[in-house]
Amino acid sequence: MQYNTGVAALKISLFVLQSLAASTSEQTGENPFTYPLKDDLIDGGRAVNLTWKATTKSTITINLLKGDPKNLGDLGAIIGLLDNEGWYEWKVSKYLEDSRSMPEGRMYGLKIINDEDERFEYSPPFGLEIPESMFGKNLVVEEKANSTWPVPPKRGSNPTRGVMWRSQGDD
């Protein structure tokens, strides 16, 4: 009986890579959200207190998710490198889509990420009611050197240019 050592080595290498990937970014049950809860309709016209049970000591990043609750797309960070105190006051952007105008079944969600080891947990899916939403309106993009970013850049990046959004006709 012959055994192909090349195939065995490849299988072992793939197993090791999968194990490493799983250990550095997986859903863990750490920092579980206590608000929003499943199917909540959040009033995005005012600041929203996001809350969770802080179970880790490192800083955290919170990403906004959107789409089918079984496969939410990641829209990016709403806050990064936040001290993990179990709450964050989120000022919802008027440029997000109001859930009531989204296709049926589409929702928002949150992903809380432990910045130390990139392990994460999801919130239950929820809706956002955004009065006077600017989503889908004609927008003009202007570049401004050294402007502040509405969302912190990824760790390790050093942006020198920001983007400012405004409605067409807002001068």
What range does the domain containing 157 cover?
Answer: 137-171
Number of structural domains found in the chain: 2
C-alpha–C-alpha distance, residues 53 and 84, integer Å: 9
| Assessment of whether the complete model's pTM goes beyond 0.75 | no
Cβ-contact 78, 164 below 8 angstroms: no
Considering the domain architecture, whether residues 160 and 97 belong to the same structural domain is answered as no
Residues 114 and 145 in one domain: no
Same domain, 142 and 91: no
d(CA 171, CA 166): 9
90 is written with which tokens? 């989120």
Residue 13 lies in a domain: no
Q: Is residue 51 part of a domain?
A: yes
In order along its 171 residues, the chain shows pLDDT tens digits of: 555 555 454 454 444 444 444 444 567 799 999 999 999 999 999 999 999 999 999 999 999 999 999 999 999 999 999 999 999 999 999 999 999 999 999 999 999 999 999 999 999 999 999 999 999 887 666 655 544 445 555 554 444 334 444 445 444
Whether residues 31 and 82 share a domain: the answer is yes
DSSP conformation letters of 85-126: SSEEEE---TTSPPGGGSPTT-EEEEEEEETTT--EEEPPPB
One domain, residues 106 and 43: yes
